[in-house]
Amino acid sequence: EVQLVESGGGLVKPGGSLRLSCATSGFIFTSYNMNWVRQAPGKGLEWVSSISSSSAYIYYADSVKGRFTISRDNAKNSLYLQMDSLGAEDTAVYFCVKYAGGAVPGSGDVYFDHWGQGTLVTVSS
Amino acid sequence: QTVVTQEPSFSVSPGGTVTLTCGLRSGSVSTNYYPSWYQQTPGQPPRTLVYSTDSRSSGVPDRFSGSILGNKAALTITGAQADDECDYYCVLYMGGGIWVFGGGTKLTVL
């Protein structure tokens, strides 16, 4: 059974930093592109960032480019999101999301097949 | 900036049929965008319903079907049930590693 377990959320002051982690199991982590998707309270889903299986290809939404850094540790089957220069607009539940199609986006079945439960990030003074 | 459009809300009667759509503010949605649909109940992560326009995810009842209608992707729910009342999101793959979600549709069954 695929499991994605996020951690690291919490309350942070504007301008601060936070690092999210996603521990995975139940699939061959080294074979799949992984993503972060967020959802502000009462709002819709927003794709944040994507990283290919080998970390060779990394993509960001314009709203976080230059402030967030996605990374992965294939030895630990873990995904990370380093968030810097946080603002109130970054307050959201952050979901760790597995890509169905394989190593890079656009390959194989093009969709998100497994989601974690999410971790809440609150940016407030 | 790419904007993916969805109806903010929709109502359907129990047992009825409803079609939710997913469009582009500028342009047409085609299979090349690999539209996929997700269902989300309050406090839960999204669940995949349909991918690559019209492929149902494992375990999803055949009451849910996807298609292209005109210049939009569509999710049709037939025989609506009370527990279909929740939020539905589409997402389009724009290429180059970029995904864009629609704003979501809140479906009411009454």
Percent of chain A with pLDDT over 70: 100
Q: What is the pLDDT of residue A106?
A: 83
Which residue on chain A is closest to B99 by alpha carbon? A47
For the segment A45-73, what is each residue's pLDDT rounded down to a tens digit?
999 999 999 999 999 999 999 999 999 99
Nearest residue, CB atoms, A110 vs list B52, B87, B101: B52
Measure B23 CA to nearest chain A CA, in Å: 16
Contact assignment for B101 to A95 by CB distance below 8 Å: no
Residue-by-residue DSSP string for A39-70 = E-TTS-EEEEEEE-TTS--EEE-TTTTTTEEE
Å between A74 CA and nearest CA of chain B: 20
Which residues of chain B neighbour A62 with C-beta distances below 8 Å? Answer: 1
End-to-end CA distance of chain A: 40
Q: A102 falls in which pLDDT band (50, 70, 90)?
A: confident
Residue B89 has pLDDT above 90, yes or no: yes
Nearest Cα neighbor of A21 from A34, A39, A8 is A8
